[in-house]
């Protein structure tokens, strides 16, 4: 395994390095009035959001605009949005580190910070969206492996842990630097923090090697974890049987959208911190261009996925899709939809691909558009998606209320506040990595190559959906007056005993008074039954007599007990009605109807579902715990993946411990 942090370092001029350290550490030492004002503003917004939430807590979700038919709204859209933003750190730090790009080193710290903070904020939304937030612990007590929501919780918890580790690991040398350089300038709390977080790092070769190994491990493991997170986030939609959503493209579509918005978020944060913290020398057009090219690449990927989504649906136009297309393109969502497609996918791409606008301003504008667009896209997926009627009813409408907007604003404020506070706790530039891998001269940008032309997406075709009709028929019966018609005789032969559900062969014969068989008469077999308070003759078979006057019938009886099978002749224009009865005893205790509730995938509906009395008494204590932890076949892939990821986290923690021990022994 090749470690990242150990490659030979070009020598950086001391005064350049000193300037970098001074600027990067500046916010840790001094606090300006603007900073305090900014924090105050954010706290005020958050406080108002908390007030809005308290309203919701008091009155229930009725204070939101959500209702039964569009029962998810801004909250879930924002959840998806924030989790998407969190992909920034992974892509930049891990992927670009893995391919040994160097230009991004001065911004990896910001990217990793965004990841952690966006996850923290995003994970709040499902709890805010819950009807019973007081029962959030039920998710642990009764959690089922089979639910996409539990996958979300597992994946986000895993990703949050991993990205926190990945944020903290490259911080160790910088904390050590802060510990060693910022003697009197910091207060006691900060010093204690630096000393603790530096875990006794003194840049010895063995510590260096351990750190490098730890970072390489995290770099590799964090990529699949990040992909899994947004895939399962998409699955809370894709696993439903709703028309615009039950598509297999949702996983990669969401991952691409996540990275798209994540890159945009870094560009924006870069722009702000560069200005506020005066890092113009270290964050230059090179970084903006590098990220801009990535953003442009992802406009193409997003365009491709949208083409995929709308062309495939639009060509077939299955039921519900004409409605969906109409509401998006010309209906109530048209301003949002076209803003998203033209303003937030097409325009950012053009801004970056056009050399004239490939400036810091142009790229930042593209990033802002991309962020707006991705929020719109999440909103459209949730709200427009659930607006498509699944039954014949008038489509309902959704408009977020002040509570939802306030909580959303508070979430953005919280996002900004955590980042603002973090700039006080550690340098937002990874000093040691920048020093190690880059001299004072900015390296020529090795931005990813782009295809020369973007493909234009075609609009979906329109067609008329034919509906399947159902033929209906009228049943008419006629009865002749039975008086003074010649009488007939019905004879019936039924076996005396049968099991429940057994095929019973019975015969009935219809003759006239002289014993001559009657042909072409309709005979009906019935059994008298009591069921739920109703009592009546239940028709079990019927037939028309042949030339010998005989009707054969095959039926089964599923009610235990002694029955009288009655064969009736309703009479016609030739003969009077008549009937006859035969006794049959039906026994048996076998369960005949054996359709089992639940999905047919092996194990998907097992152990945690408590509703299975057939399987004997419920387990308690340790047995129940084990049953819940190791439920079934379907749980194993999830469990296996979690074990692999978390053991690698454990390995990284071990390496950190080794760094700490190395100091103790030296």
Partner 1 sequence: MSGIERRGLLRLIGATVAATGLTQIGPWRAGGSETAASTATKGRLRRWAMVIDLRRCDGCQSTGKPPQCTQACIEGHFAPEPMEWIQVYEGPLGAGANGATQFLPAPCQQCQNPPCVNVCPVAATFSTPEGTVLIDQQRCIGCRLCMEACPYDRRFFNWGDAPLPPEALFMGYHPEHQTPAIRGTVMKCDFCPDLARAGRLPYCAQGCPNGAIYYGDLEEDVATNGLEVVKLSKFAADNNAYRLKEELGTEPRVRYIPGHGELVGRNPRKKGRLPTVWPWQKLVQGATTWKR
- Between residue 70 and residue 129, which ones bind partner 1 under the rule CB under 8 A? 71-72, 126, 129
- Judged by CB under 8 A, which of 37, 41, 390, 443 binds partner 1? 390
CB-based contacts of 344, cutoff 8 Å, min separation 6? 369, 370, 372, 373, 374, 376, 377
Helical H segments across 198-239, by residue range: 205-238
544 three-state secondary structure: strand
- What sign does the CA torsion over 261, 279, 220, 415 have? negative
- Judged by CB under 8 A, which of 55, 161, 164, 240 binds partner 1? 240
Q: Any contact of residue 380 with partner 1 (CB under 8 A)?
A: no
- What sign does the CA torsion over 244, 245, 248, 250 have? positive
> Nearest distance from residue 506's CB to partner 1, in Å?
14
> Nearest distance from residue 387's CB to partner 1, in Å?
12
Residue 278 phi, psi (nearest 5)? 55, 50
User: 547-576 mask for partner 1 (x: CB under 8 A)?
Assistant: --------xx-xxxx---------------
Nearer to partner 1, 147 or 445 (CB): 147
Nearer to partner 1, 317 or 529 (CB): 529
> Nearest distance from residue 136's CB to partner 1, in Å?
7
Q: In this structure, what DSSP letter does residue 457 have? A: P
- Judged by CB under 8 A, which of 1, 189, 456, 610 binds partner 1? 610
Q: Any contact of residue 611 with partner 1 (CB under 8 A)?
A: yes
Q: Any contact of residue 32 with partner 1 (CB under 8 A)?
A: no
Nearest CA to 440 out of 268, 275, 293, 286 is that of 286
User: 41-70 mask for partner 1 (x: CB under 8 A)?
Assistant: ------------------xxxx-x-xxxx-
278 three-state secondary structure: coil
> Cα angle at 186 between 108 and 42, to 5 degrees?
60
Q: Any contact of residue 386 with partner 1 (CB under 8 A)?
A: yes
Determine the distance from the C-alpha atom of residue 289 to the mean position of all C-alpha atoms in its chain, rounded to a whole number: 32
Q: Any contact of residue 248 with partner 1 (CB under 8 A)?
A: no
- Judged by CB under 8 A, which of 3, 120, 149, 493 binds partner 1? 149
- The strand ranges marked E within 513-560 are 522-531, 534-544, 550-555
Q: How many residues bind partner 1 (CB under 8 A)?
A: 93
Nearer to partner 1, 30 or 532 (CB): 532
Nearer to partner 1, 67 or 574 (CB): 67
Q: How many other C-beta atoms are found inside a 10 Å radius of the C-beta of residue 478?
A: 7
- Judged by CB under 8 A, which of 30, 456, 466, 503 binds partner 1? 466
- Judged by CB under 8 A, which of 242, 489, 522, 661 binds partner 1? 242
Q: Which residue has the tokens 């089992």?
A: 596
> Nearest distance from residue 114's CB to partner 1, in Å?
27
Sheet holding 504-512, edge to edge: 488-493, 504-512, 550-555
Q: Which stretch binds partner 1 (CB under 8 A): 44-52, 349-357, 388-396, 481-489?
A: 388-396
- What sign does the CA torsion over 534, 536, 540, 541 have? negative
CB-based contacts of 16, cutoff 8 Å, min separation 6? 439, 440
Q: Any contact of residue 452 with partner 1 (CB under 8 A)?
A: no
d(CA 424, CA 586): 83
* Tokens linked to 558: 């599923």
- Judged by CB under 8 A, which of 338, 537, 642, 660 binds partner 1? 537
d(CA 403, CA 383): 17
* Tokens linked to 468: 């399947």
* Tokens linked to 115: 């990841």
> Nearest distance from residue 425's CB to partner 1, in Å?
34
> Nearest distance from residue 617's CB to partner 1, in Å?
5
Nearer to partner 1, 64 or 299 (CB): 64
Q: Which stretch binds partner 1 (CB under 8 A): 166-174, 306-314, 543-551, 598-606?
A: 598-606
Nearer to partner 1, 142 or 636 (CB): 142
> Nearest distance from residue 386's CB to partner 1, in Å?
7
283 three-state secondary structure: coil
Phi-psi region of 561 (alpha: psi -120 to 50; beta: other; left: phi over 0): left
Q: Any contact of residue 481 with partner 1 (CB under 8 A)?
A: no
Nearer to partner 1, 5 or 73 (CB): 73
Nearer to partner 1, 97 or 524 (CB): 524
Terminal CA-to-CA distance of the chain, rounded, Å? Answer: 26
Distances, alpha carbon 114 to alpha carbons 91, 124, 163, 319, in Å: 12, 16, 10, 41
Q: How many CA atoms lie within 13 A of 243 on its CB side?
A: 19
Q: Any contact of residue 199 with partner 1 (CB under 8 A)?
A: no
Query: Which residues in 258-274 are b (16+ Cβ under 10 Å) and which e?
Result: bbbbbbbbbbbbbbebb
Nearest CA to 326 out of 342, 315, 337, 316 is that of 337
Q: Any contact of residue 593 with partner 1 (CB under 8 A)?
A: yes
> Nearest distance from residue 319's CB to partner 1, in Å?
10
Q: Any contact of residue 624 with partner 1 (CB under 8 A)?
A: no
Q: Any contact of residue 534 with partner 1 (CB under 8 A)?
A: yes
> Nearest distance from residue 107's CB to partner 1, in Å?
36
Q: Any contact of residue 392 with partner 1 (CB under 8 A)?
A: yes
> Nearest distance from residue 530's CB to partner 1, in Å?
8
- Judged by CB under 8 A, which of 14, 184, 444, 533 binds partner 1? 533
- Judged by CB under 8 A, which of 532, 547, 622, 664 binds partner 1? 532
Contact criterion met (CB below 8 Å) for 82 and 125: yes
- Judged by CB under 8 A, which of 515, 531, 621, 622 binds partner 1? 531
CB-based contacts of 633, cutoff 8 Å, min separation 6? 602, 603
Q: Any contact of residue 143 with partner 1 (CB under 8 A)?
A: yes
165 three-state secondary structure: helix
- Judged by CB under 8 A, which of 14, 131, 184, 444 binds partner 1? 131
Nearer to partner 1, 126 or 362 (CB): 126
Q: Any contact of residue 241 with partner 1 (CB under 8 A)?
A: yes
586 three-state secondary structure: strand
- Judged by CB under 8 A, which of 483, 484, 573, 590 binds partner 1? 590
Q: Which stretch binds partner 1 (CB under 8 A): 284-292, 348-356, 531-539, 653-661?
A: 531-539
Nearer to partner 1, 223 or 239 (CB): 239
* Tokens linked to 32: 């300006």
Q: Any contact of residue 642 with partner 1 (CB under 8 A)?
A: no
């Amino acid at each position: 395994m090749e470690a990242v942090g150990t490659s030979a370092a070009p020598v950086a001029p001391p005064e350049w390095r000193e300037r970098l350290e001074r600027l990067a550490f500046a916010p840790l030492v001094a606090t300006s009035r603007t900073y305090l004002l900014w924090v105050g503003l954010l706290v005020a917004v958050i406080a108002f959001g908390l007030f809005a939430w308290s309203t919701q807590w008091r009155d229930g979700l009725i204070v939101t605009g959500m209702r039964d038919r569009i029962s998810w709204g801004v909250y879930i859209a924002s959840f998806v949005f924030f989790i998407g933003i969190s992909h920034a750190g992974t892509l930049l730090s891990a992927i670009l580190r893995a391919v040994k790009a160097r230009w991004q080193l001065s911004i990896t710290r910001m990217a990793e910070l965004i990841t952690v903070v966006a996850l923290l904020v995003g994970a709040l939304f499902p709890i805010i969206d819950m009807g019973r937030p007081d029962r959030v612990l039920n998710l642990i007590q009764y959690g089922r492996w089979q639910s996409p929501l539990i996958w979300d919780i597992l994946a986000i918890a895993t990703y949050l842990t991993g990205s926190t580790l990945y944020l903290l690991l490259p911080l160790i040398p910088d904390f050590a630097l802060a510990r060693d350089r910022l003697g009197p300038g910091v207060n006691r709390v900060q010093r204690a923090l630096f000393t603790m977080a530096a875990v006794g790092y003194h840049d010895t070769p063995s510590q260096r090697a351990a750190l490098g190994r730890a970072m390489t491990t995290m770099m590799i493991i964090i990529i699949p974890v990040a992909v899994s997170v947004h895939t399962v986030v998409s699955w809370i939609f894709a696993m439903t049987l709703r028309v615009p959503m039950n598509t297999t493209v949702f996983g990669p579509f969401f991952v691409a959208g996540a990275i798209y918005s994540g890159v945009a978020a870094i560009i924006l944060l870069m722009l702000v911190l560069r200005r506020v913290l005066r890092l113009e020398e270290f964050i230059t057009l090179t970084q903006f261009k590098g990220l801009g090219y990535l953003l442009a690449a992802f406009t193409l990927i997003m365009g491709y996925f949208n083409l995929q989504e709308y062309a495939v649906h639009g060509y077939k136009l299955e039921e519900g899709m004409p409605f969906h297309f109409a509401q998006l393109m010309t209906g109530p969502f048209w301003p949002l939809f076209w803003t998203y497609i033209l303003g937030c996918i097409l325009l950012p791409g053009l801004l970056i691909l056009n050399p004239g606008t490939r400036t810091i301003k142009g790229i930042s504008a593209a990033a802002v558009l991309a962020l707006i667009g991705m929020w719109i896209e999440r909103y459209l997926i949730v709200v427009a998606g659930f607006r498509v009627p699944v039954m014949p009813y008038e489509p309902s409408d959704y408009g977020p209320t002040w509570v939802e907007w306030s909580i959303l604003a508070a979430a953005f404020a919280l996002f900004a506040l955590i980042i603002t506070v973090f700039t006080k706790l550690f340098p937002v530039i990874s000093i040691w990595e920048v020093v190690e891998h880059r001299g004072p001269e900015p390296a020529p940008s090795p931005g990813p190559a782009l295809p020369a032309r973007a493909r234009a997406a075609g609009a979906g075709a329109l067609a008329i959906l034919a509906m399947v009709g159902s033929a209906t028929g009228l049943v008419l019966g006629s009865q002749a007056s039975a008086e003074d018609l010649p009488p007939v005789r019905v004879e019936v032969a039924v076996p005396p005993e049968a099991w429940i559900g057994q095929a019973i062969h019975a015969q009935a014969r219809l003759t006239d008074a002289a014993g001559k068989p009657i042909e072409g008469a309709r005979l009906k077999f019935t059994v008298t039954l009591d069921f739920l308070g109703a009592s009546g003759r239940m028709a079990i078979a019927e037939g028309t007599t042949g030339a010998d006057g005989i009707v054969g019938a095959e039926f089964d009886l599923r009610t235990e007990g002694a029955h009288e099978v009655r064969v009736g002749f309703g009479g016609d224009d030739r003969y009077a009605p008549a009937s006859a009865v035969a006794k049959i005893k039906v026994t048996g205790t076998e369960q005949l109807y054996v359709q089992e509730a639940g999905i047919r995938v092996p194990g998907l509906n097992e152990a945690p579902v408590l509703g299975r009395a057939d399987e004997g008494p419920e387990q308690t204590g340790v047995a129940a715990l084990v049953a819940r932890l190791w439920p079934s076949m379907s749980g194993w892939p999830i469990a296996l993946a979690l074990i692999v990821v978390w053991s690698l986290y454990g390995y990284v923690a071990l390496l950190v411990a080794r760094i700490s021990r190395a100091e103790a022994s030296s």
